[in-house]
Amino acid sequence: MHVVHRALRRELELIAGVTVRIDEDPRHVLRTAPGWERFKQTLRAHQRAEDDLLWPELRRQLADQPDEAVVLEALEAEHAAIDQLITMIDELLDEPEADPLRLGDLTDSLVTGLAGHLTHEEATAIPLIERVLPAAQWAAFERAHEVER
């Protein structure tokens, strides 16, 4: 999980750099950059693996500990907010007359939101995973990342 998080953080820095450029239209640069598509694929595969393989099993393991399970609800809400930002960025990239400053604002929100989410996950979910997730489930999560990369 840490490896994927590092890769996502690295890509976020590149995306943020693209959207502050003034020598070219950042919408065109981001829309045509293979890194944007790769970033979205990696992020979606990571979130899907968490949503499908980790969170359901953690919920089962934490059924008698509702205070701990609340963490998963917060992480899922963060996934939804991040997905919404990506959708908004993609929509803006398709608008020929869109304001490039709006792209910068949305990307800043994505960078801040995703960075915060990754930190939240590392601080709260990973300790839960290490404490309660069966090894077979963790291995399935790791395999899902290998296939999706």
Query: What does pTM read for this prediction?
Result: 0.83
Measure the CA–CA gap between 122 and 124, rounded to whole angstroms.
6
Instruction: Provide the CATH number for the domain formed by 2-148 in this structure.
Output: 1.20.120.520
Q: What is the dihedral of CA 71, 74, 78, 84, to 10 degrees?
A: 150
Region of residue 95 (left: phi > 0; alpha: psi -120 to 50; beta: else): beta
pLDDT at 119: 96
Report whether pLDDT(149) > 50.
no
- Separation CA 41–CA 44 (nearest Å): 5
pLDDT bracket for residue 96 (50, 70, 90):
confident
Summary mean pLDDT of the chain: 84
pLDDT in tens, 23-69: 556 666 666 566 788 889 889 989 998 998 889 989 999 999 988 88
pLDDT at 127 > cutoff 60:
yes
